Amino acid sequence: MTFDRKSFLYRFLRHPSGLVGIIIILTTIAMAVLAGWVYPDGPWTIAGTPRQWPGVNQAYPLGTDSLGRDLAAGVLHGARVSLAVGGAAALFSIIIGTLFGGVSGYYGGWVDDVLMRITDAMQTIPSFLSAIAIVGIVGASLPTIVLAIAIVSWPMIARLVRAEFLRLRTYDFVQSCRIIGMSDFRIIFGQILPNCLAPIIVASSVLVATAIIVEASLSFLGLGDPNQMSWGTILGNGRSALRSAWYITAVPASALVLTVLALNLIGDALNDVLNPRLKER
Amino acid sequence: MTTPPRTEPLLAVNELSISYGAGIPLVQELNFTVRRGETVGLVGESGCGKSLTALAVMGLLPPNLKTAGGIDLGGSDITKLDARSLRKMRGSQMAMIFQEPLTALNPVMTIGSQVVEVLLAHNKITKAEAAKRTLELFELVRIPDAAARFNDYPHRLSGGMRQRVVIAIAIACNPSLLIADEPTTALDVTVQAQILRLLKRLQRDADLGLLLITHDLGVVRQVADRIVVMYAGCVVEEGPVDEVLDNPRHPYTAGLLAARPHGSRTAGAERLADIRGTVPAPHARPGGCLFEPRCPNAQADCRAVRPPLSPLSADRALRCYHPVGGAN
Amino acid sequence: MSTLDPVAGVTAQKRGRLTRFVTGPLPRYVLRRLSQAILVMLLVVIGSFILVKSAPGDLVDVIGGNSDMTAETMELLRQQYGLDQPSYIQLFHYMIKLATFDLGYSPLNAAPVLDVILGRLPVTAILVVVSVTISMSIGTVLGVISARNVGKPVDLGLSILMLMFYATPSFVIAIAFILFFSVFWNLLPIAGFATVGTRATGLMYAWDVAKHLVMPVGALCTFYIAIYGRIGRAAMLEVLKLDYVRTARAKGISERRVIYVHALRNAMLPLVTMAGLQVSSLVGGAVLIETIFGLPGMGRTAFDAVSERDANLLLGVLFISSLSVVVVNFIIDMIYMVLDPRVELA
């Protein structure tokens, strides 16, 4: 994809959902970055009286939870966990998926057959259940969670990359690379891959969103990293206090929904800007 | 060729214009008529507005296209009808055959049910009667083994057979006007001839008015009584088929004839063996004669004012200042 | 359209297609499906085996979990499981066991894993089937409405709604439902499959269960309504441009018929394909929903198994649910074939 960077950024920012999405995500990133400075004691410190509603005490703008921990500290530190897990899991999925899909689409034939059958099979296995099994048996820690999410989400990328490779490998520039004797490795990574970055970029925003949801779901069930305060953790803890203090769940839930929404908006905007042909879809 | 009966026109298109959005004209000041029992060939290159004209007559133009002028069919103006009355006329008084038989039928419905549907929409009959009538129609359009075919899905049929089904749907409710938009273009040559013969026979038997839209002058000569030649949204020449094709007066008609693979039939066609240039896009049409930029006979007056469509004889008209074979 | 098929025998024709599915040129298709199923199960089994191997401690430690086993018992178990043998032999034995549906013993429930799971399967099956049906119907209708009003305020409003549904995780919706319908308004029971100790039978029992299932199904559906709505809209827009829709309009039939009979049946095809792809994710989503609403299904079982470190039970749930997804996909293939006569099995 050869596009003028300036005009790309311009078109992306002019896209209403792109602009809204990027503003929300930048806010989330700012929260994650500033968490350490604003709340250096971390999210676990018991700060004051339990169950103070938001706005009641100036010191705790989002209130305190059932144990008296500052919810604002939890949300800011939780942003770190969500973004880290989402980003890392998406990155690993893209690496695995691109390798699988690229090799499959480039070589075709029986290689493609075997790899795609495996991809199909992976998509048949209930992914959240697999993630629970991995985390539950190997033990919950951030790296395990990232790995578990990556293992269950790469097939989508593999299919996407394979389709692009199948299309691109018939193009003249690939044929001429073959004729001049370029190695398969260089053709795959140097020639074809750069040309299918656009759909991968679009898919990755959705991938990050999915990863963030899976992490939050695991933490909500109490299967997350016990040393990390994630939005899911706060949500799970707040559930028992739903009757008297529903804001404890509402605060992290809003952060989660807004972040996921923003990533989807960015995905839609990227799709429109990078693939103008498919705008209607 | 039979001489067409001199009766009141069945379809009269009066000063029809079709434009996109606010101002881009796609079809301009179009006039022609179709009588009962008459076949009119509407001819032109792709993009000249033939199909749009057909859709306008059917009242099926997309909503973003605006029309002006009138389309009179059997006494009522189609452009002024409300959606409900228009729907009642479609299929019963006017019907259309489309270019692509492969995609014109619903792939998930049996061919029988697709004919039954139109019968039920316009007649107060039972399903069993409709089915019986469908079988008769299948026999009429020469679908072999019609009863066995009734429950087949379109993908099981050849292109020619599917076009016969489309024709059966079109004639099911005895319309008085049949529009055929490139009905044979997508078919094999041998099948083309069969379908054309079928159309001609049905037309003669039912005294239909047939508006045949095509870019194939051979088809027109074979089937049509009169020809209307369109260029860039306008009629440039019209008249009886044999007269126009044997003695074309508009340089464009002459060019079309010369461009045919069968070779030239007209004097002076050597110079026009191929029409240079392309049809101007709707928003870039010249102010004078539309054909002027591509015309070998073009002169200064062609550029200045667009020539009017003026009668050559009782049944011929021409839009040209410097026609082939000298001035009028 | 069976309502329209006037000639007797058209239903016979449709039956004929089903019969062909069961008897006709079937073997190749069945073989393909079967090989796919075997591959899925093989991946599950090998994955499970690697998982257990990579866990801290060995299989016996994992199975033993928190229970108080003496060192001797554990040693005995190790021999019994053949843990003193090389890995590939262990894997082979593991596969043989699973191939005969011997999923082992669940210390948590003090019963064979298979019995435990089969007891919990119906609840999850009801939850998933009802959710697929409802989300597909609602999603399709919303998609059609959007497509018919493309670019108008209705379309925009629905698009925003779909986006919200798409972005809100099911467990957040579940909690919001509980907050409003149970805590604030006290309309619906907060948890369980039926009222505890209910003596109701027949219709009353069904009504009781239905009330308990409203929130779980609703929470599980929203995301899929968004997916079907979006795909339905796109498919409908695509189909409405096609030639046969124009043919249908040229027939002079009502616009309602053009949309719902001609266009929708074709636009449904990608939705059915999507339903096949979504079943496995619904089964995964059931874990959260069943846990939140205390439904005694497979998902809840998986959660309990993790909490109590009952690895046999956990892997058993993974095995059986993967198998169920394979079976459901097979059924969806059959439905697709009835809907699309062009599909010849190969």
Range from A175-189, A206-220, C76-90, C209-223 carrying the lowest mean pLDDT: C76-90
CATH 1.10.3720.10 corresponds to the domain C23-55+103-115+122-339 = yes
CATH number for position A221? 1.10.3720.10
Percent of chain A with pLDDT over 90: 19
CA distance A211 to A90: 7
Task: Please indicate whether, in this complex, the C-beta atoms of C321 and A126 are within 8 angstroms of each other.
Answer: yes
Chain B residues with CB under 8 Å of a chain C CB are 58, 60, 83, 87-92, 95-96, 98, 100, 103-110, 112-113, 116-118, 120-122, 126-128, 130-131, 150-151, 153, 155, 166, 169
- Say what the pLDDT of residue A150 is: 92
Domains of chain C, residue spans: 23-55+103-115+122-339
Chains that touch A (3 or more CB pairs under 8 A): C
CA end-to-end distance (rounded Å), chain A: 20
CA distance A272 to C78: 58
Closest chain A CA to residue C238? A281
Mean pLDDT score, C117-137: 91
Closest chain A CA to residue C38? A121
Both structure tokens of A56: 């009641």
Higher pLDDT, C268 or C17: C268
Sort out which chain C residues have CB atoms less than 8 A from B121's CB and list them.
Answer: 251-254
List pLDDT tens digits, range C251-271.
888 888 898 888 988 888 888
Min Cα separation B185/chain C (Å): 15
Are the C-beta atoms of residues A224 and C161 closer than 8 Å to each other? no
Q: Mean pLDDT for chain C?
A: 81
- Say what the pLDDT of residue C194 is: 78
**For B107, which of C4, C257, C266 is closest by C-beta distance?**
C266
- Say what the pLDDT of residue C139 is: 92
Side by side, the strands of the sheet bearing B209-214 are B94-97, B177-181, B209-214, B39-43, B226-231, B234-240, B316-318, B310-313
Task: Please indicate whether, in this complex, the C-beta atoms of C314 and A132 are within 8 angstroms of each other.
Answer: yes
CA distance B226 to B82: 31
Element (H, E) at B66: strand B65-73
Phi and psi based region of residue A276 (left: phi greater than 0; alpha: psi -120 to 50; beta: remaining): alpha
Task: Please indicate whether, in this complex, the C-beta atoms of C249 and B90 are within 8 angstroms of each other.
Answer: yes
Q: How many CB pairs under 8 A join A and C?
A: 138
3-state SS, residue B20: strand
The answer to whether residue A214 is domain-embedded is yes
List pLDDT tens digits, range B283-327.
777 778 888 888 888 788 888 888 888 888 888 888 888 888 765
Q: State yes or no: pLDDT of C134 exceeds 60.
A: yes
Cα B124 from chain centroid? 31
The answer to whether residue A23 is domain-embedded is no
Res. C76 pLDDT band, cuts 50 70 90: confident
Q: State yes or no: pLDDT of A55 exceeds 70.
A: yes
Q: Is A137 on the interface with C (CB under 8 A)?
A: yes
Q: Mean pLDDT for chain B?
A: 83
Hey, how many other C-beta atoms are within 10 angstroms of the C-beta on C174? Answer: 22
Q: Is A241 on the interface with C (CB under 8 A)?
A: no
Mean pLDDT score, B208-222: 88
Task: Please indicate whether, in this complex, the C-beta atoms of C252 and B118 are within 8 angstroms of each other.
Answer: yes
- Block residue for tokens 């990556």: A150
The answer to whether residue A8 is domain-embedded is no
Res. C64 pLDDT band, cuts 50 70 90: low
Chains that touch C (3 or more CB pairs under 8 A): A, B
* Report for B314-318, C154-158, C186-190: range of highest mean pLDDT: C154-158
Sort out which chain C residues have CB atoms less than 8 A from A245's CB and list them.
Answer: none
Are the C-beta atoms of residues C81 and C64 closer than 8 Å to each other? no
Task: Please indicate whether, in this complex, the C-beta atoms of C164 and A261 are within 8 angstroms of each other.
Answer: yes
Are the C-beta atoms of residues A129 and C324 closer than 8 Å to each other? no
Both structure tokens of A24: 């929300």
Instruction: Give the residue from B253, B269, B271, B268 showing the smallest Cα distance to B215.
Output: B253
- Say what the pLDDT of residue C56 is: 66
- Block residue for tokens 């839209």: B213
Task: Please indicate whether, in this complex, the C-beta atoms of B118 and C253 are within 8 angstroms of each other.
Answer: yes
Mean pLDDT score, B269-273: 43
E strands within C257-306? Answer: none
Mean pLDDT score, B26-30: 84
Res. A6 pLDDT band, cuts 50 70 90: low
- Block residue for tokens 């920012």: A13
Mean pLDDT score, C12-26: 50
**B and A make contact (3+ CB pairs below 8 Å):** no
Mean pLDDT score, A41-63: 73
List pLDDT tens digits, range B33-75.
898 888 999 988 877 888 888 888 888 888 888 888 888 888 8
The answer to whether residue A3 is domain-embedded is no
Compute the Cα dihedral for C224, C226, C231, C236 and give only its sign: positive
List pLDDT tens digits, range A66-105.
777 878 888 888 888 889 999 999 999 999 999 999 899 8
Q: How many residues does chain B have?
A: 328
Q: Distance of CA C246 to CAs B153, B304, C41, C255, Å?
A: 18, 41, 47, 11
CA distance B295 to C191: 83
**Beta pairing partners, B201:** none
Q: Which domain holds residue A113?
A: 31-278
Both structure tokens of B66: 């605006």
Q: State yes or no: pLDDT of C8 exceeds 60.
A: no
Sort out which chain A residues have CB atoms less than 8 A from C43's CB and list them.
Answer: 118, 121-122, 125
Q: Mean pLDDT for chain A?
A: 84
CA distance A235 to A228: 13
- Say what the pLDDT of residue C85 is: 72
**For B106, which of C7, C248, C255 is closest by C-beta distance?**
C248
- Say what the pLDDT of residue A211 is: 92
Min Cα separation B103/chain C (Å): 6
- Say what the pLDDT of residue B281 is: 77
Mean pLDDT score, C221-227: 92
Sort out which chain A residues have CB atoms less than 8 A from C277's CB and list them.
Answer: 123
Q: State yes or no: pLDDT of B269 exceeds 50.
A: no
CA distance B318 to B316: 7
Task: Please indicate whether, in this complex, the C-beta atoms of A117 and C167 are within 8 angstroms of each other.
Answer: no
Preferred mutation among B100, B108, B118 to probe C, highest tally of C CBs within 10 A: B108
Higher pLDDT, A36 or C283: C283
Min Cα separation C236/chain B (Å): 14
Min Cα separation B31/chain C (Å): 23
**Beta pairing partners, C180:** none
**For C265, which of B90, B108, B169 is closest by C-beta distance?**
B108
Percent of chain A with pLDDT over 70: 95
- Say what the pLDDT of residue C344 is: 65
Preferred mutation among B117, B155, B174, B185 to probe C, highest tally of C CBs within 10 A: B117
Task: Please indicate whether, in this complex, the C-beta atoms of C266 and B108 are within 8 angstroms of each other.
Answer: yes
Compute the Cα dihedral for C106, C112, C116, C118 and give only its sign: positive
* DSSP assignment of B214-267: ES-HHHHHHH-SEEEEEETTEEEEEEEHHHHHHS--SHHHHHHHHHSTT---ST
- Say what the pLDDT of residue B261 is: 57
Preferred mutation among B82, B96, B109 to probe C, highest tally of C CBs within 10 A: B109
Instruction: Give the residue from C31, C88, C138, C53 showing the smallest Cα distance to C315.
Output: C53
The answer to whether residue A217 is domain-embedded is yes
List pLDDT tens digits, range A127-178.
899 999 888 888 888 899 999 999 989 998 999 899 888 888 888 888 888 8
Are the C-beta atoms of residues C149 and C156 closer than 8 Å to each other? no
Mean pLDDT score, A235-256: 85
Task: Please indicate whether, in this complex, the C-beta atoms of B150 and C7 are within 8 angstroms of each other.
Answer: yes
CA distance B223 to B212: 9
Residues 6+ apart with CB under 8 A from C258: C245, C248, C249
ipTM reported for the complex, 2 dp: 0.84
Min Cα separation C117/chain A (Å): 14
Sort out which chain C residues have CB atoms less than 8 A from B87's CB and list them.
Answer: 252-255
Range from A195-209, C43-57, C146-160 carrying the lowest mean pLDDT: C43-57
Mean pLDDT score, C181-197: 79
Task: Please indicate whether, in this complex, the C-beta atoms of A129 and C291 are within 8 angstroms of each other.
Answer: no
Preferred mutation among C34, C48, C280 to probe A, highest tally of A CBs within 10 A: C280
Q: Is A235 on the interface with C (CB under 8 A)?
A: yes
Sort out which chain B residues have CB atoms less than 8 A from C342's CB and list them.
Answer: 107-108, 153, 155
Closest chain C CA to residue A242? C179
CA end-to-end distance (rounded Å), chain C: 26
Domains in chain A, number: 1
Range from A222-226, A274-278, B261-265, C293-297 carrying the lowest mean pLDDT: B261-265
SS (H, E, C) C82-151: CCCCCHHHHHHHHHHHHHCCCCCEECCCCEEHHHHHHHHHHHHHHHHHHHHHHHHHHHHHHHHHHHHCCC
- Say what the pLDDT of residue C84 is: 67
Closest chain C CA to residue B100? C243
- Say what the pLDDT of residue C6 is: 41
Tell me the backbone φ, ψ of residue A57, rounded to 5 degrees. -120, 125
Task: Please indicate whether, in this complex, the C-beta atoms of C55 and A235 are within 8 angstroms of each other.
Answer: no
- Say what the pLDDT of residue A281 is: 35
**For C288, which of A127, A137, A221 is closest by C-beta distance?**
A221
Higher pLDDT, B57 or C20: B57
Range from A38-42, C40-44, C202-206 carrying the lowest mean pLDDT: A38-42
Chains that touch B (3 or more CB pairs under 8 A): C
Min Cα separation C307/chain A (Å): 8
Alpha helices per DSSP H over chain B = 50-58, 83-89, 101-104, 111-122, 127-140, 146-149, 159-171, 189-206, 217-223, 241-246, 251-259, 300-304
Res. C61 pLDDT band, cuts 50 70 90: low
3-state SS, residue A202: helix
Instruction: Give the residue from A88, A127, A144, A216 showing the smallest Cα distance to C55.
Output: A144
Residues 6+ apart with CB under 8 A from C147: C155, C232, C233, C236, C237, C240
Min Cα separation B168/chain C (Å): 11
Tell me the backbone φ, ψ of residue C299, rounded to 5 degrees. -65, -45
Phi and psi based region of residue B72 (left: phi greater than 0; alpha: psi -120 to 50; beta: remaining): beta
Give exposure, B247-284, as e/b (b: 16+ Cβ within 10 Å).
bbbbbbbbbbbbeeeeeebbeebeebeebeeebbebee
Chain C residues with CB under 8 Å of a chain B CB are 1, 4-7, 9-10, 13, 242-244, 246-255, 257, 262, 265-266, 339-342
